[in-house]
Structure 1
Amino acid sequence: MRHSRADVVARAITVLDDYGLESLTMRRLATELGVRPSALYHHVPNKQTLLAAVADEILARGRRPARAHRWDARAVEICTELRDAMLAYRDGAEVVVTAHTFGLGAHGPAERLRTALDEGGLPADLVETGARALLHLVFGHTAEEQTALQAASAGAIDRVPVGRSDVEHSLELLLDGLRARAAAEAGHA
């Protein structure tokens, strides 16, 4: 039976979610698909490319219709969507952050944040810095939250992470700073 690239990525997400990132190997994926490892290279040239495709699929599965109209509300919407998408799969944060950091994938949220900040009238330097700062906040918060959730479910810790309200509050603090900086720069112009 032949598998498509979409089949390979879908099965990779299943392996990731069932066993974790450390178990997502090309050999294990091939076994899960009932093929030899060399057959996977027809669809993905290496594991990094596979992980980038997995990251992109995690984000695609997490997309929701845009509802916010103001730039700052759109930024929060994009960031909470990103958080929720990464938390939907075991080790999802690590996969998405790694793909983004290595420049291999997961670019959608960054591009959408830049667009929202640009449409908010922020100067170009604030658009770039602001988008990176928002991403870093969400990436870091979500990685910590996911690690704590997994540790709590394994009985390694006895606390539950603070969750969505904490990240939304943090986003608002960062956006307050962007609004203030944009206003100050507009006042000096």
Structure 2
Amino acid sequence: MRYHREAVVERALGVLDVYGLADLTMRRLGTELGVQPSALYHHFATKQLLLAAVADEILARGPHGPRPEHWDDRVALVCTELRDAMLAYRDGADVVATSYSFGLGAAAPYDDLVAALADGGLDPALVPTAARTLLHFVFGHVTDEQTHLQASSAGAIDDDPWPSSDFAAGLGIVLDGIRLANRSGIEKHTP
């Protein structure tokens, strides 16, 4: 049976959510779809390109509310929506962060952050670094949350899931730093 690209991504999301990133292999995905793994390469030349499509789908399925007018409210919403999208899938942070880092996908949050920061009148030299810093905070925070939850659920650590998150407080600290850097004229070096 032939599958469309969307069906392959859909099944890959299911495998990711049930088994995790380590077990999302072309072989397992082929077995799930009832095809040889080589048939999947018709749609995705590499596993990394498949994961990029999965990352983009995780983001597309995440929440997308109306954008506030003020730049820092927009930034907070983009970061919160990114967090919620990644938390919705097992190992979602690893998939999205890796795809972004490889430059293969998951670029929409960065683009949204750059637009919000630029609209806020931030120094253009600061905008790319500020956007990446925000992404690094969100990726790291969600990875920490997911790792703790999965380890706790699997009995790998003797700890209950955390009752609450300090995500909003940490995001506020990062935003305060961006405001301060912009007011102080601190130049950030971009790669």
| Structure 1 unaligned spans of 5+ | none
Q: Are the equivalent residues in 1 in contact too, given 2:148–2:161 (CA < 8 A)?
A: yes
Q: Tell me by how many angstroms 1:125 deviates.
A: 1.5
Matched residues, number: 185
Structure 2 residue 107 is the aligned partner of structure 1 residue 98: no
Once residues 170 and 104 of structure 2 are traced to their aligned partners in structure 1, the CA distance between those partners, rounded to angstroms, is 27
Which amino acid in the other structure matches residue 3 of structure 2?
H
1-structure distance, mates of 2:118, 2:164: 28
Q: Give 1:177 shift.
A: 1.6
Shift of 1:54: 0.5
Give the distance between the partners of 1:161 and 1:107, measured in 2 at CA.
Answer: 30
Deviation at 1:12, TM superposition (A): 0.3
Summarize the alignment of residues 42-61 of structure 1 with structure 2, pairs less than 5 Å apart. Answer: 42-61=42-61
Consecutive unaligned residues in structure 2, runs of 5 or more: 187-191
Whole-angstrom distance in 2 between the partners of 1:139 and 1:178: 18
3-state SS of the aligned residue for 1:53? helix
1:150 correspondence with 2:150: yes
The RMSD of aligned alpha carbons is 1.5
Deviations 1:11-40 (A, max 9, x none): 000000011111111111111111111111
1:160 aligns to 2:161 (yes or no): yes
Q: What amino acid does structure 2 have at the position aligned with 1:119? A: D
Alignment of 1:14-163 (within 5 A): 14-157=14-157, 158-161=159-162, 163=164
Cα contact 1:145–1:163 (8 A) shared by 2: no
Which deviates further from its counterpart, 116-125 or 56-65? 56-65
SS, match of residue 104 in structure 1: coil
Matched ranges for 1:164-175 at <5 A: 164=165, 166-175=166-175
- 8 Å contact 1:72–1:120 — kept in the other structure? yes
Percent identity between the aligned chains?
59
Cα displacement (A) at 1:3: 0.8
1:89 is aligned with what amino acid?
A: Y
Q: 1:55, 1:106 within 8 Å by CA — same for their partners in 2?
A: yes
Partner amino acid, structure 2, of 1:161: W
Q: Structure 1 counterpart of 2:160, which letter? A: R
Deviation at 1:174, TM superposition (A): 1.2
CA contact (8 A) 1:118 1:124 kept: yes
Distance in 2, Cα, partners of 1:83 & 1:58: 11
Q: Which residue of the partner structure matches residue 179 of structure 1? A: 179
Aligned-partner Cα distance in 2 for 1:163–1:138: 16
TM-score for both structures, normalised by structure 1: 0.93
Give the letter aligned to residue 56 of structure 1: D
Q: Is this contact kept in 1: 2:63–2:84, CA < 8 A?
A: no
Shift of 1:181: 2.3
TM-score, with length taken from structure 2 = 0.92
| CA deviation string 1:122-150 (max 9, x = no partner) | 01121111101100100111101100011
